[in-house]
A and B are shown apart, each in its own frame.
Chain A
Amino acid sequence: MENLILQALSGLASASSLFLVASGLTVIFGVSRIVNFAHGSFYMLGAYLAWTFVTNLPRGHLGFWGGVLGAALAVGVIGMAVEMLLLRRIYRAPELFQLLATFGVVLIVQDLALLIWGPQDLLGPRAPGLRGSTEVLGLRFPLYELFLIGVGPVVLGLLWLLFYRTRWGTLVRAATQDREMVGALGVNQRMLFTSVFFLGSLLAGLGGALQLPRESVNLHMDLSIIAEAFVVVVVGGLGSLSGAALAALLIGELHAFGILIFPKITLVLVFLVMAVVLVIRPHGLLGRPQEAARGTGMAEPVIRAAPPALKWLGLAALIAAILLPPFAGDYALTVLTDMAVFILFAASLHFIMGPGGMASFGHAAYFGLGAYGAALAVKWLAAPMGLGLALAPLAAGLGGLVFGWFCVRLSGVYSAMLTLAFAQITWSIAFQWVELTGGDNGILGVWPAPWAAGKLTYYYLTLALCLGATLILRRIIHAPFGYALRAQRDSPLRAEAIGMDGFRIRWAGFALAACMAGIAGGLFAYAKGSVFPTYLDIPRSVDALLMVLLGGVQTLSGPIAGAIAFTGLQEQLSRMTDLWRLVLGIVIVLLVLFFPQGLAGAARSAWEARDARPNA
């Protein structure tokens, strides 16, 4: 009993911290409709800045609390700067491009933090006056945790006053619903958006700064909090402040008791909760269906055949990919094999994102299911390579059928977050079911059959299978099924009215894309000789997203160009400099600002402009 009360209290404390971060995220999303991945980076910056301020200011109340508030304010200003310099320019860009931009910020902040504060964990001082513990219902409980429990409701109350009792709040609520109309009524939206970013980032920074006495400050804080904060925001309902509070409470408590009952579940608990909530309530606990932000949506352009010059370029690249490798070294062959695998991986994600119109944040699940499908067959059935490679798309396709059945019912960010939830659930099974999957140690000894064991032979096998599968995807996009897929994306109602079953079309497309990702995963497993849980973790899903977005969602050659560019860049950068994240982040940000159509889209526009000039 005593234990239960203590768990409930510590659940409240973590709910409180979670709410601070999530409230900022949900406010920013509500107004700007930007899915701000950089929010976790603001949280991390809050913690680091608080560490710097507090350790440099004189000890005592003023030094500590001044440092914490100073850090929160500084992060607010940083958020404002990011909005003014970067995001403001891309409000009209497609949603996913904004996501890419904020991810560029994540990479930049990560390396800047590494440069400034170094790789080691930093320990902050404890909060003055709140060092010890106190008696709660006859039990000893840390004072600082008790203080945190109070912070959440206070912040919620202040935000409520701000939103419902001030003119600024009225404007924000109006802009959350219809920002175009707010502008037409004479409200300067730029100021409004910038101030919302200031507030949201400040809350993230405050959340981070208040962690200082609780845990060490490190470089992984950004990604670990962003996943949880997103879950809270989505479970609560995007843009809903009270929903975020409710969801934070739910997840904080479930976490606290989950550890008690079934310790293994904590890694995946939040995602399980999100999956259950989204399946039952597609717009979160207190969310309303999002009205599309008017005047910002861009119709997807029609897919056009590549201009002849680009076709020749593609053919030349293919010939080079076939003729040159015999003269390449082992290292180059490894990189080329990876590239071929990732081309298919990216093309399969593009298939559901571009023509399908569904974003997936968890596409690595199917890559990983393919890899594990093959590896488990090798480990438990001693299956030959042929069978392993055949099982890979089957396993992934099955996963796609099951998960897709839930995901394709939702739309937009909700659907993308549900794919992420399923990916994390799959990941935690691979990570924690040690008896079956070997857990973190992975499965070793997944080697190709003797005839394909040579690096060059295996490269050709990979190239043939991956390019073949990619071409099949291309063919399908131009087949009636592809038309149906695009029709339901562009106008679900009209598609339904002429007798198309949007759900089934999306479901089939989702499963097919999963199959294709499975082929890529299976080939990758044999190329590396082993599989690990990292094959299906969040960073791998993010890699796939980056490839597709770098290349451009609207062209068929996009994912190919994106996969080559991303794999090449990452490979080259990580060899040349330790700060490859910084460089990659800057490249992404510049790309978003100057080539909003992606690499392939930009190349096409350049060709078309060149071709058009003599006629004009």
Chain B
Amino acid sequence: MAEVMEATRPAMASTSLLEVRKLEAWYGESHVLHGVDLDVRQGEVVTLLGRNGAGKTTTLRAIMGLVGRRAGSVRFQGQELINARSDRIARAGIALCPEERGIFASLNVTENLMLPPVVQPGGLDLDTIYSLFPNLRERASSQGTKLSGGEQQMLAIARILRTGAKLLLLDEPTEGLAPVIVQQIGRTIREIKARGFTVLLVEQNFRFAQTVADRHYVMEHGRVVDMVPNDQLAASMGRLHEYLGV
């Protein structure tokens, strides 16, 4: 089995689900990303680590087409998306769960859940989603922003599991949540990985990241400066401490 894995790895690498090359992004006149290179393979959970202001969130937003101007290349399933509008990128199968969660206050939980159109077959059905997030079923008719922070985070993740998106971009899903909720989010991420979703995750919480991820990219000054597989994490601790200053 291991041999098979070894044998197929080069082929897998060349058929990354997401290939980002020399990605640059601007907000207004400020140049934020200076050439980001990264790959995410089918079925992987990959994190972006880095200090505040390194460009992690901007990388996700740039992949999603939500920055003022961008250049370089974003290929998803072989399809070039650098000039596509964000709704086309979403229909290609990428979905974003933003840091502030993007729950609509004027919509109730069900409406929030059903808002994104189904873009491709293969999404989870409503029953599966409710079994993953039982809280949401109970609060189906509550106003979206009346939920607790943890529930809002669940809703924001649940919302993009329905659409058939293949690659989920999660921006700091654990931020500001209680430890028990963070564990629950961790279980959720492992669960959706087991179901075949691919995840690119921005995380400040390094300890949390190592419990869910296969690989870690380290960002500094709008570039990716290093990549550490999760199984070599212990060996690379010194290097990481230097990058992250933790």
Binding site for B on A (CB under 8 A): 167, 170-171, 173-174, 176-178, 180-189, 295, 298-299, 301
Q: Is B106 an interface residue when CB atoms closer than 8 A count as contact? A: yes
Within 1-34 of B, Cβ neighbours of A (below 8 Å) are at 28-29
Please give, as numbers and ranges, the residues of chain B lying within 8 Å of A181 by CB-CB distance.
98, 102, 104
Please give, as numbers and ranges, the residues of chain A lying within 8 Å of B96 by CB-CB distance.
184
Could you list 21 examples of A-B contacts with CB < 8 Å? Answer: A170-B111, A170-B115, A173-B104, A173-B106, A174-B104, A174-B106, A174-B107, A177-B105, A182-B115, A183-B86, A184-B64, A184-B90, A185-B160, A186-B90, A186-B95, A186-B116, A186-B117, A186-B163, A187-B116, A188-B87, A295-B68
Given pairs A183-B85, A186-B119, A299-B28, 9 additional interface contacts (CB within 8 A): A177-B104, A183-B90, A184-B86, A184-B90, A185-B159, A186-B87, A186-B95, A295-B66, A295-B68
**Total number of B residues with any Cβ neighbor in A under 8 Å:** 29
| Alpha-carbon distance between A167 and B116 when the two chains are bound, in angstroms | 10
Of A171, A176, A181, chain B has the most CB atoms within 10 Å of the CB of: A181
Within 214-230 of B, Cβ neighbours of A (below 8 Å) are at none
Q: Is B192 an interface residue when CB atoms closer than 8 A count as contact? A: no
Please give, as numbers and ranges, the residues of chain A lying within 8 Å of B107 by CB-CB distance.
170, 173-174
Number of A-B residue pairs with CB-CB distance less than 8 Å in the complex they form: 71
B116 touches A185 (CB 8 A): yes
B106 touches A184 (CB 8 A): no
Within 64-97 of B, Cβ neighbours of A (below 8 Å) are at 64-66, 68, 85-87, 89-91, 95-96
| Alpha-carbon distance between A52 and B90 when the two chains are bound, in angstroms | 46
Question: Could you tell me the distance in whole angstroms from the C-beta of A171 to the nearest C-beta in chain B?
Answer: 7
Please give, as numbers and ranges, the residues of chain A lying within 8 Å of B181 by CB-CB distance.
none
Question: Could you tell me the distance in whole angstroms from the C-beta of B139 to the nearest C-beta in chain A?
Answer: 18
B114 touches A170 (CB 8 A): yes
Question: Could you tell me the distance in whole angstroms from the C-beta of A302 to the nearest C-beta in chain B?
Answer: 10
Please give, as numbers and ranges, the residues of chain A lying within 8 Å of B114 by CB-CB distance.
167, 170
By beta carbon, the residue of chain B nearest A297 is B28
Please give, as numbers and ranges, the residues of chain A lying within 8 Å of B98 by CB-CB distance.
181, 184
User: 1/0 per position for B101-143, CB-CB distance to A under 8 A?
Assistant: 0101111000100111101000000000000000000000000
Please give, as numbers and ranges, the residues of chain A lying within 8 Å of B66 by CB-CB distance.
180, 183-184, 295
Please give, as numbers and ranges, the residues of chain B lying within 8 Å of A295 by CB-CB distance.
66, 68
Question: Could you tell me the distance in whole angstroms from the C-beta of A174 to the nearest C-beta in chain B?
Answer: 5
By beta carbon, the residue of chain A nearest B68 is A295
B87 touches A187 (CB 8 A): yes
Binding site for A on B (CB under 8 A): 28-29, 64-66, 68, 85-87, 89-91, 95-96, 98, 102, 104-107, 111, 114-117, 119, 159-160, 163
By beta carbon, the residue of chain B nearest A164 is B111
| Alpha-carbon distance between A176 and B106 when the two chains are bound, in angstroms | 9
Please give, as numbers and ranges, the residues of chain B lying within 8 Å of A167 by CB-CB distance.
114
By beta carbon, the residue of chain B nearest A163 is B106
Please give, as numbers and ranges, the residues of chain B lying within 8 Å of A182 by CB-CB distance.
115
By beta carbon, the residue of chain A nearest B156 is A181
Question: Could you tell me the distance in whole angstroms from the C-beta of B156 to the nearest C-beta in chain A?
Answer: 10
B105 touches A187 (CB 8 A): no
Please give, as numbers and ranges, the residues of chain B lying within 8 Å of A173 by CB-CB distance.
104, 106-107
A189 touches B102 (CB 8 A): no
B64 touches A185 (CB 8 A): no
| Alpha-carbon distance between A177 and B91 when the two chains are bound, in angstroms | 21
| Alpha-carbon distance between A180 and B115 when the two chains are bound, in angstroms | 14
| Alpha-carbon distance between A280 and B217 when the two chains are bound, in angstroms | 53
B106 touches A185 (CB 8 A): no
| Alpha-carbon distance between A63 and B76 when the two chains are bound, in angstroms | 56
| Alpha-carbon distance between A72 and B150 when the two chains are bound, in angstroms | 47
B28 touches A185 (CB 8 A): no
| Alpha-carbon distance between A301 and B115 when the two chains are bound, in angstroms | 37
| Alpha-carbon distance between A170 and B163 when the two chains are bound, in angstroms | 17
Q: Which one of B29, B68, B87 lies within 8 Å of A189 (CB-CB)?
A: B87
By beta carbon, the residue of chain A nearest B159 is A185
| Alpha-carbon distance between A295 and B111 when the two chains are bound, in angstroms | 24
Question: Could you tell me the distance in whole angstroms from the C-beta of B59 to the nearest C-beta in chain A?
Answer: 15
Question: Could you tell me the distance in whole angstroms from the C-beta of A281 to the nearest C-beta in chain B?
Answer: 19
Of B85, B87, B95, B111, chain A has the most CB atoms within 10 Å of the CB of: B87
| Alpha-carbon distance between A165 and B176 when the two chains are bound, in angstroms | 35
A183 touches B87 (CB 8 A): yes
| Alpha-carbon distance between A167 and B113 when the two chains are bound, in angstroms | 12
Please give, as numbers and ranges, the residues of chain A lying within 8 Å of B115 by CB-CB distance.
170-171, 174, 182, 185, 187
Question: Could you tell me the distance in whole angstroms from the C-beta of A117 to the nearest C-beta in chain B?
Answer: 40
| Alpha-carbon distance between A184 and B61 when the two chains are bound, in angstroms | 9
| Alpha-carbon distance between A299 and B28 when the two chains are bound, in angstroms | 7
| Alpha-carbon distance between A178 and B106 when the two chains are bound, in angstroms | 10
By beta carbon, the residue of chain B nearest A295 is B66
| Alpha-carbon distance between A189 and B89 when the two chains are bound, in angstroms | 13
Please give, as numbers and ranges, the residues of chain A lying within 8 Å of B64 by CB-CB distance.
184
Please give, as numbers and ranges, the residues of chain A lying within 8 Å of B117 by CB-CB distance.
185-187
| Alpha-carbon distance between A170 and B89 when the two chains are bound, in angstroms | 21
| Alpha-carbon distance between A530 and B226 when the two chains are bound, in angstroms | 76
Please give, as numbers and ranges, the residues of chain B lying within 8 Å of A178 by CB-CB distance.
102, 104
Please give, as numbers and ranges, the residues of chain B lying within 8 Å of A176 by CB-CB distance.
106
Question: Could you tell me the distance in whole angstroms from the C-beta of B122 to the nearest C-beta in chain A?
Answer: 14
By beta carbon, the residue of chain A nearest B64 is A184
By beta carbon, the residue of chain B nearest A302 is B29
Question: Could you tell me the distance in whole angstroms from the C-beta of A129 to the nearest C-beta in chain B?
Answer: 40
By beta carbon, the residue of chain B nearest A185 is B116
Of B89, B90, B104, chain A has the most CB atoms within 10 Å of the CB of: B104
| Alpha-carbon distance between A173 and B106 when the two chains are bound, in angstroms | 7
Of A167, A186, A189, chain B has the most CB atoms within 10 Å of the CB of: A186
By beta carbon, the residue of chain B nearest A172 is B106
Please give, as numbers and ranges, the residues of chain A lying within 8 Å of B159 by CB-CB distance.
185
| Alpha-carbon distance between A301 and B96 when the two chains are bound, in angstroms | 30
Question: Could you tell me the distance in whole angstroms from the C-beta of A184 to the nearest C-beta in chain B?
Answer: 5
By beta carbon, the residue of chain B nearest A189 is B87
Of B29, B102, B114, B159, chain A has the most CB atoms within 10 Å of the CB of: B102
| Alpha-carbon distance between A298 and B28 when the two chains are bound, in angstroms | 7
| Alpha-carbon distance between A188 and B90 when the two chains are bound, in angstroms | 10
Question: Could you tell me the distance in whole angstroms from the C-beta of B28 to the nearest C-beta in chain A?
Answer: 5
By beta carbon, the residue of chain B nearest A301 is B29
Of A171, A185, A188, chain B has the most CB atoms within 10 Å of the CB of: A185
| Alpha-carbon distance between A185 and B114 when the two chains are bound, in angstroms | 11
| Alpha-carbon distance between A298 and B104 when the two chains are bound, in angstroms | 23
| Alpha-carbon distance between A178 and B145 when the two chains are bound, in angstroms | 13
| Alpha-carbon distance between A167 and B163 when the two chains are bound, in angstroms | 15
Please give, as numbers and ranges, the residues of chain B lying within 8 Å of A185 by CB-CB distance.
87, 90, 95, 115-117, 159-160, 163
A186 touches B91 (CB 8 A): yes
